[in-house]
Amino acid sequence: MKGTRDLLPAETGLWQRVEDEARRILGAYNFREIRTPILEQTALFARSVGADTDIVTKEMYTFEDRTSESLTLRPEATASVVRAYIEHNLFNEGGIHKLYYIGPMFRRERPQKGRYRQFYQIGAEVLGSDHPTIDAEFLEMLVLFLGRLGLREYNLLLNSVGCPKCRAEYLKVLRQALDKVKDKMCGDCQRRAATNPLRVLDCKVETDQPIIESLPHTLDHLCPECRQHFDRVTGELQQRGIPYQIAPRLVRGLDYYTRTTFEMTSNVLGAQNAFLGGGRYDGLSEMLGGPPTPGFGVAIGEDRLILAVEQTASLKPDDRLDIYVAWMGEGALHPASQLARELRRDGLSVEIGYEPMKLKKSLGIASRLGARFTVIIGEGELTAGRFQVKDMSTGQQEEIEPARVAAVVKEKLQKG
């Protein structure tokens, strides 16, 4: 189907590696996993992402189920996380909740490199505090994560879109500026100028860009509290040695953002260069009928992150085969299977042939599978009570008692 992909084993090893690193770093910062449904009631997204955003007006997979209820394949998961937070009264526990998710999202966009209709996000949310240190520490975590993946060439773009109070003032100024120029803009922008002027700043139409560049910036219209918040975030980023660029147009394509917004981009990605984005959404819980609960989060575009990693980093999947068990003669099948079971129980990754084969053929299979070692079990080995362990990269062979094979191989694997 257009815009969807099959990820084959040649690729999934890297995906797993990236997800493992994500879980590890999120765990280190005390985030816990949440799994929400892929299907949600359509109203959830209209109320949170915003009725006049591209996502809601053009991109959602929405359908009626058999009882005429309107359902939508989630286009993003922050709304679902906050819905779950409210539905399960997590706020009653008090304190801060740090939650993360990994999974598919659906948007009916025009497919191109790095843009799919089913794509994957690794997302994390902090609910329950609007402290600027949360923003800075969160960005620090992302920088550490990218470092673990070996990704060093990227830009952190940062902006503040203010709170409802200063946003109202800013929107007045923006509307006035738009009144003068909107006739020269695309049809969508003319409509947005009246319904949701902030969205004009997201417009991607080429001829609108010079006009958008000339529009007033949110950063110049922040109220004192929002200004202070932003200065504290940038100050803490500097203290942590995290470089960033101010991006005055970065308002993000969803209506729920307040104050800090950010994106990270990579030059190796082409047109779709943003591989993650997020920010603060202090009013979202209330928009969804919950108690006032400030929040901050990120959605990492896993597809794009992996494209960037493939092109610039040397991260390797953890999917090498440790051992191939080659056995000769029916009498060797049982001891060979037993050895394979023990090695697998010990955590090694093991493959074994299911038919008796000549040694040469077994070794051919072992090297095609990329096995690091081959254990050879023939009549001679059975009589001697010691198996041959062959290092496939050097060709060296050692005779080892069956009970010691796992330990010896593990030691050699550790030495690299």
**360 Cβ contact list (under 8 Å, min separation 6):** none
Instruction: Look up residue 366 and give its two tokens.
Output: 């072992």
Q: State the minimum distance, in angstroms, from the CB of residue 264 to ligand AMP.
A: 8
CA–CA gap between residue 281 and residue 356 (Å, rounded): 63
Are residues 30 and 99 in contact, defined by beta-carbon separation less than 8 angstroms? Answer: no
CA 278, 272, 1: angle at the middle one, nearest 5? 105
Binding site for ligand AMP (CB under 6 A): 76, 107, 109, 114-116, 119, 121, 252-253, 274-277, 299, 301, 303-304
Nearest distance from C-beta of residue 143 to ligand AMP, angstroms: 16
Which two three-digit tokens encode residue 219?
A: 């950063």
Cβ closest to ligand AMP, residue 21 vs residue 381: 21
Phi, psi of 186 (to 5 degrees): -65, 165
Instruction: Tell me the C-alpha distance between 197 and 189, whole Å.
Output: 8
Rg of the Cα trace of the chain? 27
Angle in degrees, CA 351, 306, 253, rounded to 5: 145
Q: Considering the complex, what minimum distance in angstroms separates the CB of residue 72 from ligand AMP?
A: 14
CB of 100 to ligand AMP, least distance (A): 14
* Minimum CB–partner distance for residue 285 and ligand AMP (Å): 18
Judged by beta carbon, residue 5 or residue 341, the one nearer ligand AMP is 5
Tokens of 113: 């490199």
DSSP one-letter string for 167-230: HHHHHHHHHHHHHHHGGGS-HHHHHHHHH-GGGGGG---GGGHHHHHTSPPGGGG--HHHHHHH
Six-digit token pair at 211? Answer: 């006009």
Query: Would you say 303 or 322 has its CB closer to ligand AMP?
Result: 303
- Note whether 15 and 102 are within 8 A (CB): no
**Closest CB to ligand AMP among residues 119, 230:** 119
Q: Between residues 145 and 327, which has the closer beta carbon with respect to ligand AMP?
A: 145
Backbone angles phi, psi at 152, to 5 degrees: -120, -25
Nearest-CA neighbor of 133 among 260, 298, 285?
Answer: 260
Nearer to ligand AMP, 196 or 337 (CB): 196
- Work out how close the CB of 370 gets to ligand AMP at its nearest, in angstroms, rounded to a whole number: 30
Instruction: For ligand AMP, give the closer residue by CB, 257 or 373.
Output: 257
CB of 48 to ligand AMP, least distance (A): 12
Q: Are 146 and 241 in contact (CB under 8 A)?
A: no
Pick the closer one to ligand AMP by CB: 136 or 276.
Answer: 276
Q: How far is the CB of 60 from ligand AMP (least distance, A)?
A: 12
| Beta-sheet strands, E only, within 8-138 | 32-33, 39-41, 61-64, 70-73, 97-106, 118-127
CB of 259 to ligand AMP, least distance (A): 16
* Residue closest to ligand AMP, measured at CB: 301
Rank residues 259 and 304 by Cβ distance to ligand AMP and give the closer one: 304
